[in-house]
Structure 1
Amino acid sequence: MVTMESDAQVALRAASAGAAVVREMYGASLTRYEKGGGDFATAADIAAEEAVLDVLRAARPDDAVTGEESGAGGAAGAARRWLVDPLCGTLNYAVGNMLVAVNVALRDASSTSPGIVAAASADPFSGEVFWTDGAGAWVRGADGRGDRLIPSAGSRLVDLNLDPPFPHAPGFRAVELMAAPEFVAGFRPRVVSSTVAVAWVAAGRRAAYLTDGGPGLRLDSVHFAAGIALCEAAGCVVTGIDGLPVDEGAGGLIVAADRETHGVLLGLVQRQR
């Protein structure tokens, strides 16, 4: 039965359900399922996705869903589609690193503002859930209190995704950006290897986040849709690595707390390319 909850509330509850599973299974000896190219899933990825899907199926039975592990379900051309990444940072998790996230986002083509209209990104170990209703962005702490997300570049910390493949090499490599004198003069690199760092930009804990990647990063990405929606709702500057909207251009992602930070990073990327 369809619930009376808002889509944002459903996203928050679904991400929280997945996070509970990830937290409960942490430290256990987990079966790995190889995907090829060095990528793999664990039993925790699959169990967390099932927990998320259980919430979505009960609350929004007519909506389509795409899960990282289970693939696409529902009508191929559905106007409303949930995008689920049940455990972003699987390698971190598998080796006992707690830097992970559970991402849930709703893309609604029938909305008056088509795009991602609700999203949540849960940190299983801090107990925080970052969420948006498409208009504003908040974080709910483990104590249940909610605070509005306010971006800030004050930390000067920039998170870089260094995972292969590198579709823009040799013209651009994030690892080379870290060695650029202009970057070193103004920023300090971090490598979290999880999209929880994207939510941290919205929360003012990172000045920026940058990743390489192919085109179409936003519309159908189970990994990034939630984080991008959070950052846009919080007022961050979000583009591809060429400065174009993330739905267009070469792909990749630059998320910055403000225009000044975004401009500096975009300039560094363009000089490298």
Structure 2
Amino acid sequence: MHPMLNIAVRAARNAGTVIVRAFEQLDKVEIEKKGTNDFVTSVDLSAEQTIIETIRKSYPNHSIISEEAGELKGEDNDYQWIIDPLDGTTNFVKGIPHFAVSIALKVKGKLDQAVIYDPIRGELFTASRGKGAQLNGFRIRVKQHKELSGAVLATGFPFKHKQHTNAYLDIFKALFTKTADMRRAGSAALDLAYVAAGRVDGFFEIGLKPWDTAAGELLVIEAGGLVTDFSGGHGHAKSGNTVATSSRLLKEMLKDMRPHLGEALSK
């Protein structure tokens, strides 16, 4: 295992321990509202601190971008860690056991290492640039589904971007009528990991943040898939409008999404 991936795994497992311990005593978790339909808990902050401390112990000069702490500049900006300490906070708060720790490393602007860890199921998804993707040490691959018929897609509702509700529902309807079924489980990181593992055939969501998608993007790519914006370009890192699937299914998904995008989502 790459030494930096090894540290990411250690950080994710340490954070997972914090999260599981708190999940067993949810009544003691402090919850704050940080925006419309957006929550942060004391556990997000504790898990984040654990990750940052684990990384900084080995790489004190690296830069870090994290959901709660924001951008923490280091002396070496060639190495940038992108962290979501608890992706699926609403699930966590409600006692739904579906959430994950997401950690990615960019080297000179390119995704290089990735970890998504589901502490409830003990599932560790990892990827290193050019080395493939694994689940608990076993190689995983994106399903090379040829058409929407028979496919199961994952998605997330635009709960932070309700101005896009009508466009989203039109896209949902266009895809749903052609697929076997859709899933909305509440963690974009795990949705992307599940695409990489072939558990779902594709994924789309509006307005995600880099910490939601960075690790999952590398997992999907290293598992043989593609990650694009809603027009098939590379604007997803900026817009957060993300599609992840196999190369064959991507064409089908984008074709059915295109008529419903409008100017705001065609990025």
User: What is the CA distance between 1:230 and its match in structure 2?
Assistant: 0.8
Identify the match of residue 152 of structure 1 among 143, 146, 161: 143
Kindly indicate whether residue 97 of structure 2 is the aligned counterpart of residue 98 of structure 1.
Answer: yes
Q: Secondary structure at 1:205's aligned position in 2?
A: coil
Kindly indicate whether residue 244 of structure 2 is the aligned counterpart of residue 255 of structure 1.
Answer: yes
Which residues of structure 2 form unaligned runs of 5+? 262-267
Q: Which amino acid aligns with 1:151?
A: V
Q: Contact (CA 8 Å) 1:82, 1:105: kept in 2 or not? A: yes
User: What is the CA distance between 1:132 and its match in structure 2?
Assistant: 0.9
1:4-43 to structure 2, matched below 5 A, reads 6-28=3-25, 29=27, 30-43=29-42
Q: Contact (CA 8 Å) 2:100, 2:116: kept in 1 or not? A: yes
Kindly indicate whether residue 254 of structure 2 is the aligned counterpart of residue 266 of structure 1.
Answer: yes
Q: Contact (CA 8 Å) 1:240, 1:249: kept in 2 or not? A: no
Q: Contact (CA 8 Å) 1:128, 1:139: kept in 2 or not? A: no
Q: Contact (CA 8 Å) 2:195, 2:203: kept in 1 or not? A: yes
User: What is the CA distance between 1:165 and its match in structure 2?
Assistant: 3.2
Change (3 A) 1:228 1:57: same
Q: What's 1:206 paired with?
A: 200
Identify the match of residue 128 of structure 2 among 119, 129, 133: 133
Q: Which amino acid aligns with 2:178?
A: A
Identify the match of residue 190 of structure 1 among 183, 190, 195: 183
Q: Secondary structure at 1:117's aligned position in 2?
A: strand
C-alpha separation between the residues in 2 aligned to 1:76 and 1:62? 5
Q: Which amino acid aligns with 1:190?
A: R
Question: Which string of whole-angstrom CA distances, capped at 9 and with x for unpartnered residues, describes residues 117-164 of structure 1?
Answer: 1110101111011111111333343xxxx1011111567211111032
Kindly indicate whether residue 83 of structure 2 is the aligned counterpart of residue 84 of structure 1.
Answer: yes
C-alpha separation between the residues in 2 aligned to 1:137 and 1:69? 30
TM-score by length of 1: 0.85
Q: CA RMSD in A?
A: 2.3
Q: What's 2:43 paired with?
A: 44
Question: Which string of whole-angstrom CA distances, capped at 9 and with x for unpartnered residues, describes residues 84-110 of structure 1?
Answer: 10000000100001111100011111x
Give the total of aligned pairs: 254
Change (3 A) 1:251 1:70: closer
Q: Which amino acid aligns with 1:138?
A: A
Q: What's 2:212 paired with?
A: 223
Change (3 A) 1:248 1:10: closer
Q: Secondary structure at 1:41's aligned position in 2?
A: strand
Which residues of structure 1 form unaligned runs of 5+? none
TM-score by length of 2: 0.87
